[in-house]
Amino acid sequence: MADALYRRADWNWARHGGLTVTHGWKPESGFIKYRWTGYSEALILYILGLASPTFPLPAESYRAWTRSYKWKKLYGNEFLYAGPLFIHQLSHMWIDFRNIQDEYMRVKAIDYFENSRRATYAQQQYAIRNRKGFKAYGEYIWGITASDGPGPATRRIKGRTLRFYDYVARGIPNGPDDGTLAPWAVVASLPFAPEIVLPSLNYFNQHFPEMTSKYGFKCSYNPTFADGNRNKNGWVSLGYYGLDQGPIVAMIENYRTGFLWRLMRSCPYIADGLRRAGFIGGWLGS
């Protein structure tokens, strides 16, 4: 069933006359004006599009996408930039990018896995510096990504007027950042940097026990957004999101056994898409 649906997907139609893939189509208004450009979770989308046995994306679509990348240096780490941490994680839930490189990464002499490791360290360093003075940020408390938040609201806190958001794609170093942190984003970086993730989780569990329940971690919390004496640790999201819980389970298992990566390496569409995108090396061979 899934294979039949995949074969019906018309990736060229989704380009709407351009090289990059559009964000979608609505019956009421047609194609969305935005496109998948700039490094994002669309890495797996382009790989699947290239692998289609019926209506594949042309190789030039992938090259056009990578030409929109931005390479940055933050806190001593050079890496392919994306502000929210989830971007460096979601495609990695399924694909083992260790030791395989496309043309862009061959030029940079790293792979996407190493890129995510550097992005994880950049997140921690941003929290340690804490230039905006948010409560609790530090070596063990970090994780800025797309998440629920306490806003929309504006509050006067310690002589500063601060704006708080609801659900938004928070990122570093230029925001948006309102002091809201997501524990799931820390866990989902476990395969990349266990040496900083595991101590952070241990510290987090000790100091924010209210963030854990029978469903796992709650979506997000904001220590700066205090609510009188009812919660000394600040605001805590009431919701749970499957989009958050899934990466926790998948990335713990990839760290422990590599099960999902091993399973997906045997998927011919993944291997074909990677090769058509120009990936070589590692488990893909030459």
- In the chain, where are the structural domains located? 109-260
Task: Please report, to the nearest 10 degrees, the dihedral formed by the alpha carbons of residues 269, 273, 279, 285 taken in order.
Answer: 30
Tell how strand 212-213 and strand 235-236 pair up.
unpaired
pLDDT 10s per residue in the chain (286 long)? 567 767 889 999 999 999 999 999 999 999 999 999 999 999 999 999 999 999 999 999 999 999 999 999 999 999 999 999 999 999 999 999 999 999 999 999 999 999 999 999 999 999 999 999 999 999 999 999 999 999 999 999 889 999 999 999 999 999 999 999 999 999 999 999 999 999 999 999 999 998 988 888 999 999 999 755 556 679 999 878 888 899 999 999 999 999 999 999 999 999 999 999 999 999 998 6
Q: What is the 3-state secondary structure (H, E, C) of 198-241?
A: HHHHHHHHHHCHHHEECCEECCCEECCCCCCCCCCCCEECCCCC
End-to-end CA distance of the chain: 32
Average pLDDT, the chain: 94
Going from the C-alpha of 145 to that of each of 82, 89, 142, 183, the distances in angstroms are: 10, 11, 10, 10
Per-residue pLDDT at 1: 57
Interacting residues of 6 by C-beta distance below 8 A, sequence separation 6+: 48, 52, 269
Neighbours of 107 (CB within 10 A): 10
pLDDT digits (tens, 9 = 90+) for 155-198: 998 899 999 999 999 999 999 999 999 999 999 999 999 999 99
Contact 29, 16 (CB under 8 A): no
Give the CA angle between residues 47, 264, 97 to the nearest 5°.
Answer: 60
Task: Name residue 278's amino acid.
Answer: G
The pLDDT score that the predictor gives to residue 215 is 83
Predicted TM-score (pTM) of this structure: 0.94
Q: What is the pLDDT of residue 2?
A: 65
Q: What pLDDT score does 184 carry?
A: 96
User: What is the rounded CA–CA span in Å between residue 2 and residue 131?
Assistant: 48
pLDDT of residue 25: 96
Q: Which residues face 146 on adjacent strands?
A: 169
